[in-house]
């Protein structure tokens, strides 16, 4: 039996979540990952300030299809009142089952604005934000953060305790500091320390690339669930492998032909949601990720970056499929 997790009434189908990733986890990719078994999805992070301004692009990021559910909307910002208002707007404009506050993004332009992981260095402001958002909405609230801002200011346990006290229903912890960005290794013992310190569910993020790494985070370090980010790039099949591993202790290798078919489905779905020109441009990076590891794909990667129509991409994918073994 596949184990699941309940977050303040939100029942995920299993313990394997698709992480929010800006410019990547749009509705199309969330639908693809759910079809392969992701137990929960998250929107791309959405600016609370932009929502309060009625920004159409930001509102569009909140579009959630029934097939993606359960889905949590992630927002970011640095002002408690703005985040509270942004959260209310998000709830009113989408069917998300919960709101997540991003307090872990390490990107310089986010941090320089006092947003994302910068809030780990300003725990009082972070607490005020959580309390304000908690008061503003009537659906579950979660928060995603890192091990700390620097190695000298590791405060994940303190931060998790604060977040629980302020009213969150779950925490997601990435085991790197902000200064690490995505280098080095994710520190799984931090997950264990946070789990022992709070009573709400703890989701592990960082270096979840294989079923083995997911089960290490859960079985050895106590995480209630895991969140796949970079491990899911071009690899929605990872979620199926998680489920296979949980049931049997083994999992199937990915069939290159299925990869190609999934690329086509992903492209066509994106075209239906965003229009051909935008879809082809935005799917290029996904195509390069999908092709990673497929024998002889290097020459095709170069060609894909030059194509401009859906038909051209589909034709090339059919050519690639013919070269695949099996």
Element (H, E) at 301: helix 298-304
Asked if residues 106 and 146 have their Cβ atoms less than 8 Å apart, the reply is: yes
CA pair distance 129, 135, nearest whole angstrom: 10
**Does the annotation count 271 as an active-site position?**
no
Q: Tokens 């994918």 label which residue?
A: 317
Token readout for 207 is 């270096």
The angle subtended at Cα 50 by Cα 49 and Cα 53, nearest 5°, is 95
Among 71, 105, 271, 310, which one carries the catalytic annotation? 105
CA pair distance 163, 95, nearest whole angstrom: 24
In sequence order, the β-bridge partners of residue 75 are 46, 101
Nearest Cα neighbor of 159 from 147, 177, 175 is 147
Q: Hey, which residues are catalytic here?
A: 105
């Amino acid at each position: 039996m596949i184990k699941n997790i309940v977050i303040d009434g939100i029942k995920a189908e299993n313990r394997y979540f698709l992480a929010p990733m800006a410019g990547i986890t749009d509705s199309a990719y969330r639908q693809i990952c759910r079809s392969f078994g992701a137990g929960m999805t998250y929107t791309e992070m959405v600016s609370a300030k932009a929502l309060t301004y009625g920004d159409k692009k930001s509102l569009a990021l909140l579009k959630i299809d029934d097939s993606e559910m359960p889905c949590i909307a992630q927002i970011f910002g640095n002002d408690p009142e703005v985040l509270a208002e942004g959260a209310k707007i998000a709830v009113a404009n989408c069917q998300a089952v919960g709101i997540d506050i991003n307090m872990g993004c390490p990107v310089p332009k986010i941090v320089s604005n006092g947003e994302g992981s910068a809030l780990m260095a300003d725990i009082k402001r972070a607490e005020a934000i959580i309390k304000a958002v908690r008061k503003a909405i009537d659906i579950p609230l979660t928060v995603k953060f890192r091990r700390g801002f620097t190695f000298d200011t590791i405060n994940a346990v303190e931060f998790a305790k604060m977040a629980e006290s302020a009213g969150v229903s779950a925490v997601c912890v990435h085991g790197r500091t902000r200064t690490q960005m995505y280098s080095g290794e994710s520190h799984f013992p931090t997950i264990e320390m946070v789990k022992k310190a709070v009573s709400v569910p703890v989701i592990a993020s960082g270096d979840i690339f294989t079923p083995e790494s997911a089960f290490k985070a859960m079985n050895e370090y106590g995480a209630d669930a895991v969140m796949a980010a970079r491990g899911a790039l071009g690899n929605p099949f990872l979620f199926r492998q998680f489920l296979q591993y949980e049931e049997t202790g083994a999992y199937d290798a990915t069939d290159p032909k299925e990869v190609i078919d999934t690329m086509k489905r992903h492209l066509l779905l994106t075209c239906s949601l965003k229009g051909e020109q935008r879809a082809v441009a935005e799917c290029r990076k996904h195509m390069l990720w999908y092709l990673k590891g497929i024998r002889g794909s290097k020459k095709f990667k170069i060609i894909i970056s030059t194509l401009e129509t859906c038909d051209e991409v589909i034709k090339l994918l059919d050519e690639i499929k013919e070269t695949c073994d099996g």
